[in-house]
């Protein structure tokens, strides 16, 4: 059975890049590429897959229809996670996270997705200026081609 730890191994080999797909209002699929990783949910502690976005299409789709899938690949190896997205950002507040909690969450998602930064203050300013939102995917299905 495929696990989130398997996902991390494949993601690491593929620079934590994933194809994310959301559902448009006309029932067609919208896809793009993001950096994503596995982290602990900031409130409940369960493992989620997270990425940061300010993409208008993704956020509009996810606010209306939170179903989402992400596929990570490295060579011919791939793993897909499906689930429900939870949005946490300046336009999608969370009752248990204040501005400092959001700042910490955006940093946590960034590092879980393989990111490193030498000026966190500049990172925080950019995230705030661009109104970035953390997308936390609560996995409901995880599958892959046969793992080696």
The domain locations on the chain are 4-144
Say how far apart CA 13 and CA 137 lie, in whole Å: 21
What fold characterizes domain 4-144? Pnp Oxidase; Chain A (2.30.110)
- For residue 148, pLDDT beyond 90: no
| Phi, psi torsion values for 5, nearest 5 degrees | -70, -35
Q: According to the model, what pLDDT value does residue 146 have? A: 78
Q: Is 27 left (phi over 0), alpha (psi -120 to 50) or beta?
A: left
- What would the two tokens of residue 130 be? 């661009």
Cβ contacts of 26 within 8 Å, gap of 6 or more:
none
Partners of 85 in the beta sheet? 137
* Per-residue pLDDT reduced to its tens digit, 20-55: 999 999 999 999 999 999 999 999 999 999 999 997
* Per-residue pLDDT reduced to its tens digit, 60-76: 999 999 999 999 999 99
**55 contacts 105 by C-beta, under 8 angstroms:** no
């Amino acid at each position: 059975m495929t696990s989130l730890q398997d996902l991390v191994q494949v993601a690491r080999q593929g620079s934590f890049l994933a194809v994310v797909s959301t559902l448009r209002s006309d029932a067609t699929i919208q896809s793009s590429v993001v950096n994503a990783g596995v982290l602990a949910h900031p409130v409940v502690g369960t493992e989620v897959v997270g990425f940061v976005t300010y993409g208008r299409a993704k956020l509009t789709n996810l606010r209306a229809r939170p179903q989402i899938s992400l596929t990570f690949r490295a060579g011919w190896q791939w793993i897909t996670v499906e689930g429900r997205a939870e949005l946490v950002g300046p336009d999608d507040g969370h009752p248990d996270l204040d501005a400092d909690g959001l700042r910490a969450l955006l940093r946590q998602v960034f590092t879980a997705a393989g990111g490193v930064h030498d000026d966190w203050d500049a990172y925080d300013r950019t995230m705030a200026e661009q109104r970035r939102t953390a997308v936390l995917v609560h996995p409901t299905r995880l599958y892959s081609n046969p793992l080696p």
